[in-house]
Chains A and B, each alone.
Chain A
Amino acid sequence: MNNLLSITDLSTQEIDSLIEKAQDIIANPDAYHEKCKYKKLATLFFEPSTRTRLSFEAAMIDLGGRVMGFSEAQASSAAKGESVADTVRTVGCYVDIIAMRHPKEGAPLVASMHAGVPVINAGDGGHNHPTQTLTDLLTIKTEKGRLNNMTIGLCGDLKFGRTVHSLIEAMSRYDGIKFVLISPDELKLPNYVKQETLDKKGIEYEETTNLVEAMPKLDILYMTRVQRERFFNEEDYIRLKDSYILTPEKLVTAKPDMTIMHPLPRVNEISVAVDDDPRAAYFRQVKNGKFIRMALIMKLLGIS
């Protein structure tokens, strides 16, 4: 069964071919309008999401398919205590492919063992969110024209930020990548990511607490939100949430062609005043999310 549970499920060649397909969809959208005619996607969202659920649904609709599902656990039999396995066994009888978000880590893996149709992990707690990573890669490729030879600054919550860990894993596959890890000491990148990805692959990186000092070196600045739901302690959240706020003043020393990315939603870590800067790519990133999901749905359904 074809599933996408983690970005590590995909070879570099598969990632490159998904990006290529997404770029073709962007260039020739009409050619894809009936690719998934009569196919159905279920979006099983056990926790709320705006972008991810709607982009999956928009992707399937733009491929000529149909969508069904639920957008919170309370709207499903999970509220009655039904297991993930039983839920997807049922849903798998109705649809051709499932996109699932669940607050518990590993729930999509359980789903993939029982669904009988392809399962896409649309985010499982702080664990994996592979379609966000694919979206990020398509954005980098589209904005820069390449995926190699660049310095990427990752800023904010590098400890709990799943998108950051997956992006590091994915970008470490390409040549000439350097990372600048910008975070408060409390939210530094975990050692296991450094050891098992960066050190193992011999990737150059530096750690700093100072965003302004790091700015001139960066080709990409990837901002992240300090997420309330990842903290057990409210006091720690309040103390750290404002640590790194991007403003037009902080961008003065940035390269003229630097790309600013953010997985969204943002709270206040990027000032609204930055939105009009041509380097701000985060809403273009949202748009790319739909196209890469179109390419992914086609791949998992075996449609060329």
Chain B
Amino acid sequence: MNIDGITNGLVIDHIEAGKGMDLYNVLHLGELESTVALIKNVTSHKMGKKDIIKVDEVLDVDLDILGFIDPNITVNIIKDNVRVAKKHIELPKMVKNIIKCKNPRCITSTEQELPHIFKLTDPEKRTYRCIYCETEAEKK
């Protein structure tokens, strides 16, 4: 299958197979006017299978969201058909309004306007906890 290269935009690579659609949704790529390709189950030497997203537009992507979903993702920035940057993602120390706290006793369950903020408490286990009630976030 052939997908055209992009002139100016970005390639989100090394996405764990099956998570591409999650990323597509969380980055609101469906709302873009430009060409977007979500390629699933691409053969990869390193990963066996992976997903790739190509966006034909230079976007200011929230790297924290990507890092939260999967810190192994890489983001390639393409300008004039040339890759000008390759960004490795890190686990964000804090994420805001990406996931919601599921604890029914948490203050966010009754005060709807509060932002849902989680902080990284154990980088090794990729554990995030709600800053209000300290309930552990479900793994993505």
Contacts and interface: CB of A to CB of B under 8 A. Distances in A.
A282 B15 CA distance: 57
A104 interface: yes
A36 interface: no
B61 interface: no
B133 A105 contact: yes
Contact of B130 (A83, A103, A106, A124): A106
Contacts of B134: 105, 127
A102 interface: yes
A90 to B, nearest CB: 16
B105 A84 contact: no
Contacts of A198: none
A23 B109 CA distance: 41
B108 interface: yes
Nearest to B136: A192
A205 B132 CA distance: 29
B22 to A, nearest CB: 26
A126 B105 contact: yes
A65 interface: no
B101 to A, nearest CB: 9
Contact of A84 (B107, B130, B133, B135): B107
Interface residues of A, number: 16
B44 interface: no
B106 interface: yes
Given A109-B131, A127-B133, A127-B134, A102 B105 contact: no
B59 interface: no
Interface string A66-94: 00000000000000000111000000000
Contacts of B132: 105-107, 109-110
A125 interface: yes
Contact of B106 (A83, A84, A85, A106): A106
Interface in A165-197: 192
B25 interface: no
Interface stretch (B48-56, B69-77, B82-90, B110-118): B110-118
A125 B114 contact: no
Contact of A106 (B113, B131, B136): B131
Contacts of A106: 106-108, 130-133
Interface string A102-145: 11111101100000000000001111000000000000000000
Interface of B: 103, 105-111, 113-114, 130-136
Interface of A: 83-85, 102-107, 109-110, 124-127, 192
Given A109-B131, A125-B133, 18 more contacts: A83-B111, A84-B107, A84-B111, A85-B111, A102-B107, A104-B105, A104-B107, A104-B109, A104-B110, A105-B107, A105-B135, A106-B131, A106-B132, A107-B132, A109-B107, A110-B107, A110-B111, A127-B133
A-B pairs, top 6 by smallest CB distance, nearest first, are: A106-B132, A105-B133, A104-B107, A106-B107, A107-B107, A106-B133
